[in-house]
Homo-oligomer: A and B are copies of this chain.
Amino acid sequence: MSPSFSTMLVRLRERRPLIHHITNDVVTHITANATLAAGASPIMAKALEEVEEVARQVDGLVLNIGTLTPAQVEAMKAAGKAARGEGIPIVLDPVGYGFTKLRTQATHELLAQVKPSVIRGNQGEIGLLAGGKGAVKGVEGKGEDPREMDRLTVELARREKAVVAMTGPEDRISDGQRLVVLRRGHPAMGAITGSGCMATAVVASWVAAFPDDLLWATVGALAAFSLAGEKAAAHSRGQGSFTAELLDALAALTPEELVPLEAEIHERSL
């Protein structure tokens, strides 16, 4: 039985956590807006000269490597260590992990030095990160075998001692002991740029508000975001408008609307 997402949403909006984003150039604006729509407040800061100071004053930190530079890696490490030192939840989004050496190496350094609380990525990123190249080719090539994806999600969570969220047509969330599979959302979410990064921003908003329940905060965030995606898609005018409609729906979500999802989401103990 899941906790009450509806109650969590009410509390999140009351607490209005402040989220520091060190993120990619493509999604700076929409993830700031996604943070607001989720019920939190964003602050973007990237200079090595200020990121530690910022990270210490916030409730959550997002590290998104989508347009990485070596200087940004240093800023992420500094901010991450500062946040870690204060017990502030950190969400890592390893965009394009495996595509270049810079991204792959930076991800490994961030995992080792920053120890993120939550890692959110798509099937390819999480699969590759969990199991090496062969495993991911398997994930992509074998028609996305659900059991294999379950295994990879849990394995990465155990290895990194973090909550791992592998999102896609189905979302898998695990803390290494438990696994939750969420079958919600809409394919339209995959047709816009940055929906994964927006999901990360929403996850950061929830875990910042509920740092003592990272697993369920992550599930609640993805449940809320998926429901917003379904609602937006129901009356969408097209691919270009969908981003704004998704934000509209996320901000307009009522606690009551989350109640039906509470009943349908179950954890599996492992």
Q: Please give the residue numbers on chain A whose beta carbons come within 8 Å of chain B beta carbons, in ascending order.
A: 24-30, 32-33, 36-37, 42-47, 49-50, 53-54, 57, 66-70, 96, 99-103, 191-194, 237-241, 243-252
- B contact residues around A66 at 8 Å (CB): 44
Q: Which of B25, B47, B57, B70 contacts A99 (CB 8 A)?
A: B57
Instruction: Let me know if B102 and A50 touch, CB within 8 A.
Output: yes
Q: Which of B102, B192, B194, B248 contacts A239 (CB 8 A)?
A: B248
Closest to A37 in B: B239
Q: Nearest Cβ in chain B — how far from A52, in angstroms? A: 9
Q: How many copies does the complex hold?
A: 3
Instruction: Let me know if A247 and B251 touch, CB within 8 A.
Output: no
Q: Which of B53, B240, B248 contacts A251 (CB 8 A)?
A: B240
New contact pairs (12) apart from A45-B96, A241-B245, CB-CB < 8 Å: A28-B29, A29-B29, A33-B193, A44-B66, A47-B68, A49-B100, A49-B102, A53-B100, A238-B245, A239-B247, A239-B252, A241-B247
Instruction: Choose among A241, A245, A246, A250 the residue with the greatest number of B CB atoms under 10 Å from its CB.
Output: A241
Instruction: Let me know if A101 and B240 touch, CB within 8 A.
Output: no
- B contact residues around A50 at 8 Å (CB): 68, 100-103
Q: Nearest Cβ in chain B — how far from A125, in angstroms? A: 13
- B contact residues around A243 at 8 Å (CB): 33, 240, 244
- B contact residues around A27 at 8 Å (CB): 29
